Structure 1
Amino acid sequence: MSTKYKAATTEEAYFITITTVGWIDVFTRLSQKYTIINALRYCQNNKGLEIYAYCIMSSHIHLLCKATNGFLLSDVIRDFKKYTSKKIIDTIVEEPESRREWMLDYFKKACEHLKRNQQFKVWQDGYHAEVVQTNWFIKQKVNYIHFNPVKEKVVSNPEDYYFSSARNYSGLENDLEVEVLYLF
């Protein structure tokens, strides 16, 4: 398997994008967004995940992050995806969801080709990871992450999007603490 876009080292920070299969808009409900927030918080507290920037869009998540305390970022992301897959399916089944049957059918069909026994597949295989090497790259990626909801016309200003670290950088209320980088 290619390591071109994988978190293959232990010391660097990475810009990571994790995407749902078929770019399905899973994160349109608050409960699904909080599934991600709670899982990221768990990874921060228990798996050495240090988050510098994040944004939860409807079909994908952007992170600027690093694994610490001897943890491998690839293992943290693997565990995050495994846990959130189960929680996302549980939420679709248990809570009101107008697209329930369609989503469950799609996630079921997405894993038919897999050799391992799996009932649902929520996330695309792997994830896109780019190693952080310069302050210019950090600034570019933090801006990209924070302006993603603006580009998609969800909000007019980055700090208005609640599920983004743009709020942390603006000193506003948020549900996920991040390590604010003072490069701006």
Structure 2
Amino acid sequence: MDEKVTVPRYRRAQGSTFFFTVALADRSSTLLVDHVDRLRRIYRTVQQRRPFETVAICILPEHLHAVWSLPDHDVDFSSRWNLIKGGFSRGLEPQERSASKLLKREKGIWQRRYWEHAIRDDADLERHVDYIHFNPVKHGLVTQARDWSFSSFHRYVEQGILAADWGGDMRDIAGNFGE
């Protein structure tokens, strides 16, 4: 008996669409999952003030990946990330900082820079969304994507875009993702 193979049907993102990797300065930290409610609250606040759609996201202990779709004619993702990173850092204890971070009044929690990539087409979007959802498995945090709670994977399952037992295959997810 032939088994029916279901191919995920990702919808097209509107406006300008970008993939991001944003990391903490201390790559051994678990700050993002330890304070995930704080991160979510700040993220929502920024999203309300400076609208964007979160196409996909995964929060890991020391970095996160996201695909955002910005409104038409808006490519200002940098101020949004600045607000998210600054809002998250306020109220947390400063980390060990360099002289330049002290001068700029940075707490040393985040890496200054982040990886960004403009999504080129539907295949590029699918590859990046799959990468995001598979990332906790890649890093050995879980054995199946469905077991990581800090991911948009669960929304994709609820919407019928991905099956609950979707596992992805890193061989099919080729590219540079900023890690």
C-alpha deviation, 1:117, in angstroms: 4.1
Corresponding position of 1:145 = 132
Count of residues paired in the alignment? 147
Letter in 2 for 1:21: A
Corresponding position of 1:164 = 151
5+ long unaligned stretches in structure 2: 1-14, 164-179
Contact in 2 for aligned 1:47/1:71 (Cα 8 Å):
no
Corresponding position of 2:77 = 73
5+ long unaligned stretches in structure 1: 1-10, 94-103, 172-179
Corresponding position of 2:32 = 27
Q: Please tell me the root mean square deviation across aligned C-alpha atoms, in Å.
A: 2.5
Q: 1:41 aligns with which of 41, 44, 48?
A: 44
Letter in 2 for 1:19: A
C-alpha deviation, 1:183, in angstroms: 9.5
Contact in 2 for aligned 1:53/1:165 (Cα 8 Å):
yes
Q: Deviations over 1:6-65 (max 9, x none)?
A: xxxxx5210001100031422242xx1111111222222221021000000010010000
Letter in 2 for 1:73: F
Corresponding position of 1:54 = 57
C-alpha deviation, 1:110, in angstroms: 2.4
Q: Deviations over 1:71-99 (max 9, x none)?
A: 72111111111111114x1xxx5xxxxxx
Letter in 1 for 2:17: A
Q: More helix per residue: 1 or 2?
A: 1
User: Hey, which bits of structure 1, 4+ residues long, moved more than 4 A?
Assistant: 180-184
**Matches of 1:55 and 1:130 in 2, distance apart?**
16
Q: Rg: which structure is higher?
A: 2
The TM-score normalised by the length of structure 2 is 0.72
The TM-score normalised by the length of structure 1 is 0.70
C-alpha deviation, 1:114, in angstroms: 3.4
